[in-house]
Amino acid sequence: MGPLRVAIFVGAGIGVLLALFMSGLAAHLMARTVRDLVDKARAVAAGERAGRLSVHTGDELGGLAGSFNRLADALEGVVSTLAAERDRFQAVLESMREAVIALDAGCQATLVNRTAVDWLRLRGEAVGRTLLELARVPGLQQLADRALDGQTASAELDLPGRPAPRRVLAHAAPLSSGRGCILVLYDVTEIRRLERIRRDFVANVSHELRTPVSIVRANAETLLDGALDDPGSARRFVDGIHRNAERLTRLIGGLLDISRLEAGKYAIAPVAIDLRRAALRTASALGSLAEDKHIQVAIDVPADLRAMADPQALDQILTNLVANALKYTPAGGHVVIAAHRAAPADAPDAATLVRIDVVDDGPGLDPRHRPRIFERFYRVDDGRARAGGASHETGGTGLGLAIVKHLAEAMDGEVGVEAVTPHGSRFWVALPSAPVTDLHAPVTDAALSPPFS
Ligand code: ADP
């Protein structure tokens, strides 16, 4: 073989080896790019934030990588928009004061917001449980069944709860996909309570007004029918008319006070008030009532106590409480007006309140009446109360303590009643205290007898 042939063979061999090496390299690079593409495509399909392919060749593979990168960009944009949308929806749902429960076609919860979890007092994962497992309320299940049949439905029902059931207005509607329904529950407990109070109030007002009006009418008719000519009985009937006209005046006055207070039209202008003087003023204004019943009224109020209160409102509070104490305490009893510094329940170390107590040694209040005694028209109308002088015809209106409570609350205060041993009541009013500025100013009202123990 000539040298030329050898050179040709060697050259051809090298050429073939080079070609093999180059094609192997190209195949390897292409395989790596394709593997990368497959991995990234898998990652994107699995919802991961995959990186981008860096293929800058001008061939089909480069074009495919460019398309993949654009697809991944678009997908990521859609995913983040959906995530933001979902977060917004979740935030709205969780901040809703209504309870929301979404159910699938098999009546299993697919969504339960926080309010629903609270109201139904759910523990553990709520999603995936059936409606009956979430709430044993047949009415709710019936609504869901109707909504799963494609109809919208509403009903008012009670959710079991402590201390009292929760009254809810429930709406059920089918989902637009047709595969499930959504229940939305509104709490109407407070609205229904207020409606009941309003209804009772109207019934009570009508009843309270009707009684004296019918007595006035009956007495006037009796007088017209001839009793006028009998001076002895005429006086009795006119007296009845007078007493009932006065009762009507008191009732209407009380109702006006309450409605002005509730409408915020009772102008309250708190100033620093010397409580000892206020107590003395009330005791002296009601002095004749106390004398008539031989009741000893004592004042136990330090001279340096001041309350931030409206003078007229405080007078009205004290007058109501002391008049009640005098009215319900039998003759020969005792009444004390006392006051001391007190701490608010939420800040026991800060003596920022003053508490005024009106204590009597009368019959006291049965514990079952105490929680309701400050309600409008609530009266303990038993024989014992009447014996104290509060007959239904001539006595109280049942509005006095309601006015006291409203006035105290309008001055950022509180009211309450406690029992006194062996018998009697302690009505109290706590008001914001005020600094003492005129401690040495003379107290003009006469000092009264010392407190009883
Ligand atoms: P009234 O005009 O009937 O006195 P109030 O609202 O002032 O209305 O009082 C409501 C009820 O509270 C009274 O009917 C009475 O039964 C009871 N009550 C108020 N104060 C006393 C007291 N010091 N001792 C016993 N019972 C009282």
Q: Which of 105, 196, 205, 209 is nearest to 147 (CA)?
A: 105
Contacts of 392 (CB under 8 A, 6+ apart): 211, 381, 386
| pLDDT attached to residue 50 | 62
pTM of this prediction? 0.62
Contacts of 90 (CB under 8 A, 6+ apart): none
Pocket test for ligand 1, best of 324, 386, 418, 428 (most atoms within 8 A of CB): 324
Rounded to whole angstroms, how far apart are CA atoms 208 and 211?
6
- Residue type for 99, please? A
Q: Which atom of ligand 1 is nearest to the CA of 385?
A: 16
Distance 396 CA to ligand 1 centre (A): 7
Q: Are 154 and 143 in contact (CB under 8 A)?
A: yes
- Residue type for 135, please? A
Phi, psi of 314 (to 5 degrees): -65, -40
Measured from the CB, is residue 358 less than 6 Å from ligand 1? no
Q: How is residue 341 written in tokens?
A: 């510094």
Distance 415 CA to ligand 1 centre (A): 14
Which residue lies with its CA nearest to atom 19 of ligand 1?
Answer: 324
Q: How is residue 395 written in tokens?
A: 């006595």
Measured from the CB, is residue 227 less than 6 Å from ligand 1? no
Q: How many other CB atoms are found less than 10 A from the CB of residue 27?
A: 10
Measured from the CB, is residue 113 less than 6 Å from ligand 1? no
Element housing 252 (H / E): helix 231-262
Rounded to whole angstroms, how far apart are CA atoms 195 and 156?
15
Distance 398 CA to ligand 1 centre (A): 7
Q: Which of 348, 317, 306, 340 is nearest to 439 (CA)?
A: 306
Q: Which of 169, 187, 175 is nearest to 110 (CA)?
A: 175
Measured from the CB, is residue 379 less than 6 Å from ligand 1? yes
Tens digits of pLDDT across the chain (453 residues): 688 888 899 999 999 999 999 999 988 888 887 887 788 778 777 777 666 767 666 777 778 778 888 888 888 889 889 999 999 988 999 999 999 999 999 999 999 999 999 999 999 899 999 999 999 999 999 999 999 999 999 999 999 988 889 999 999 999 988 889 999 999 999 999 889 888 888 888 888 899 899 999 999 999 999 888 888 889 999 999 999 999 999 899 989 988 888 888 888 999 999 999 999 999 999 999 999 999 999 999 999 999 999 999 999 999 999 999 999 999 999 999 999 998 877 777 677 899 999 999 999 999 999 989 998 888 886 444 433 334 444 467 889 999 999 999 999 999 999 999 999 999 999 999 988 775 555 444 433 444 333
- Residue type for 402, please? A
Q: How many other CB atoms are found less than 10 A from the CB of residue 352?
A: 14
| pLDDT attached to residue 433 | 93
Q: How is residue 239 written in tokens?
A: 């007296």
Which parts of 305-441 are beta strand (E)? 306-309, 334-342, 353-360, 414-419, 425-432
| pLDDT attached to residue 439 | 55
Measured from the CB, is residue 397 less than 6 Å from ligand 1? yes
Distance 399 CA to ligand 1 centre (A): 9
Which residue lies with its CA nearest to atom 21 of ligand 1?
Answer: 324
Measured from the CB, is residue 323 less than 6 Å from ligand 1? no
Q: How is residue 79 written in tokens?
A: 């995913």
Which residue lies with its CA nearest to atom 23 of ligand 1?
Answer: 325
